[in-house]
Structure 1
């Protein structure tokens, strides 16, 4: 197993949010510990990173004082499953962590999910998307909050096929998430009578030059280039496709997992007209705007995306359940606490009302957006127009088709 670097271990230092005064007490207050484990330095750092940590802290602040304290720890898993699993074990065995939250990169999330199952702790996943997390490899200790590759395929992929995008070529990150996103989207395309003409898989996370893959796509005869990747990889693909004149050539661009942070990085001159799906948008309604406003002092001129909002929402729901159970009982068994989280309806400013299914998948609406033109935008983060909404009960793999052992049981 890889030795953890000093940088990773330093990043794992705890940050405590005290929910009470510092008045001395005869007995210490109960304490819950939440570890936010994500990408702080690689291609997903802008999708999760310190903004997800800020969102977890905001959840603790919004929760208020319920008679126990909450510590927030954080660390960089470097998009490596062995590093992620090692940090998870260290946190649980040595640092008394009760919950591991966020965890982008599906290969890392799958490894951490198994650690939490073995140790009977909670895995609140906010940003990994492989359907295996709530499918074949689901367990009673893991929740996937608001989106996955099935949702992206149904919403973004389905819309593209209905708009005439019948022949596809994929550029795919060569690991669990990329494979899942390509597979799920291909299923939607073929079910609608379309065809997949080809694909290319690239090494993750070590690829920055996608020019040869884009050239291959443009010569494939497909009329849609599907990007089965995310983060900096997706941004680089879209930039390079723009430089190659892909859309001017008549080929459509379909980034299957993009975030508002990606669009902001690209700029509207490049991104205008692209359609994409998110489960959260800061400017969707009064409640989402209120959430974003509370978060601003911690983030500066930055708006959260669906993954970061999911870190907030999942941590807040956990704290509500822990208060209802009592902190000692919530610490006793991760699986028992997850069961209570599934039983209690969710509700917060980021996502509104929702629920968690038996397989651990949170159910919330999916929103198909069109990226605005520069002339349409009224501000730096005014980037989306809402095109369509997929109801919450249609955003996840139907339970009748689920491979999750919890469903089969």
Structure 2
């Protein structure tokens, strides 16, 4: 950048003096399209995203025989360590000096929001396949960003409405005491109330709680029809395991996890999770397409099936490369994102879908119930499909998000 500025000043000086201006060197020839998988490779999100996201990206590239727009496609990976400053620092380096065209994955909403702003300023592409903040397609939407993972609105509204309609009239919340948990509880409470249900109590717990005894005793004493776990990762695993030990489900209370992935269920086992209700946008055993992708992924991951977030990476890289192929270039991030929005999505993991003006990827969302141990045929055969949610119920209405792109700004 400094050289470019100095060159411009020198040229202006030569023109002012009536001197000839030396021809500038042409821009270096691009050698590859580079996609960076910026993830949590060793921390709390490593199982649901992490190394599996890198594998999913490579599977998508293989579908294009490793090339797009006449150039080889290269996959890089980096660990943001769940720190927004670390993530944005890697993003700036990748964009400014390492020729990265798009960054994908981004578990942890604070990291995703920070990297999204870096991508906007650099006019590159951010494909958020793991973070769940609804602001990514709301007031902080961007012409350089697409959000693939379902967000806190969907996580809260879909199961809440479904369970109230099935007779779950009273609710009790076990909520992680930080912004993510508060957001889940607030949006779920609104959905329960709108559907005609009633909240009878809630209790908040610190991040990283290991003993949920007192919390679950309060949930049990509330006699609520539904106990909602507004937490994730280790907090969900610990609270769900102890809910099973306390016999909440055996006593007739339904337990719903608002932010659950298949790796959580497999880690806990079906004896501890039988009957739990979860929401997701992907399950490996839904269709021939999901089974095909699941097997390809499992072959690279020692038999582990993909999570929703890892399947999102495959879908996002696939659609990105289609757009780059159509444009013949990856250099203008806004143009690539605009092309992605203008083109219907289609891949083996999610089938057909679309990308809205606010950057929200829209594809089917499902309500699942965890199987009993006797129903399961294999380690990853864990879900029974309860309901495919109509798209108009599955995502926040675009007019309610406050995205400036929808209003003609941005």
TM-score band by shorter chain is 0.7 to 0.9
Partner of 2:127: 124
Change (3 A) 1:209 1:75: farther
Change (3 A) 1:86 1:201: farther
Change (3 A) 1:170 1:344: same
Q: In 1, Cα distance between the equivalents of 2:221 and 2:87?
A: 39
Partner of 1:233: 235
Q: Is the 8 A contact 1:39 1:78 kept in 2?
A: yes
Shift of 1:108: 1.8
Q: Is the 8 A contact 1:44 1:230 kept in 2?
A: no
- Count of residue pairs brought into register by the alignment: 379
Instruction: Tell whether 2:110 aligns with 1:107.
Output: yes
Q: In 1, Cα distance between the equivalents of 2:334 and 2:215?
A: 44
Partner of 2:263: 261
Query: Equivalences for 1:117-266 in 2 at 5 Å?
Result: 117-204=120-207, 206-220=208-222, 222-266=224-268
Partner of 1:80: 83
Change (3 A) 1:313 1:91: same
Partner of 1:347: 346
3-state secondary structure, aligned to 1:407: coil
3-state secondary structure, aligned to 1:168: strand
Q: In 2, Cα distance between the equivalents of 1:286 and 1:61?
A: 19
Query: Equivalences for 1:327-366 in 2 at 5 Å?
Result: 327=329, 330-331=330-331, 333-366=332-365
Shift of 1:298: 1.1
Q: In 2, Cα distance between the equivalents of 1:88 and 1:216?
A: 45
Change (3 A) 1:78 1:211: farther
TM-score, normalisation: structure 1:
0.87
Q: Is the 8 A contact 1:34 1:101 kept in 2?
A: yes
Runs of 4+ in 1 over 6 A off after TM superposition: none
Q: Is the 8 A contact 2:245 2:272 kept in 1?
A: no
Q: In 1, Cα distance between the equivalents of 2:43 and 2:222?
A: 31
Partner of 1:17: none
Cα deviation, 1:194-247, whole Å, max 9, x if unaligned, reads 23334344444x444433433343344533221122223211221122223332
Q: Is the 8 A contact 2:132 2:150 kept in 1?
A: yes
Single out whichever of 211-220 and 103-112 deviates more from structure 2: 211-220
User: Which runs of no fewer than 5 residues in structure 1 stay unpaired?
Assistant: 1-26
Instruction: Tell whether 2:71 aligns with 1:68.
Output: yes
User: Which runs of no fewer than 5 residues in structure 2 stay unpaired?
Assistant: 1-27
Partner of 1:399: 398
TM-score, normalisation: structure 2:
0.87
Single out whichever of 274-283 and 175-184 deviates more from structure 2: 175-184
Shift of 1:335: 1.7
Shift of 1:148: 1.5
| Counterpart pick for 2:300 among 298, 301, 312 | 298
3-state secondary structure, aligned to 2:352: coil
Change (3 A) 1:41 1:214: farther
Shift of 1:28: 6.8
Partner of 2:44: 43
Cα deviation, 1:108-167, whole Å, max 9, x if unaligned, reads 212221221222221101111121111111111111114122222232121221223223
Cα deviation, 1:74-96, whole Å, max 9, x if unaligned, reads 22222222222222222222322
Partner of 1:5: none
Highest CA radius of gyration, 1 or 2? 2
Q: Please provide the CA RMSD for this pair.
A: 2.0
Q: Is the 8 A contact 1:29 1:69 kept in 2?
A: no
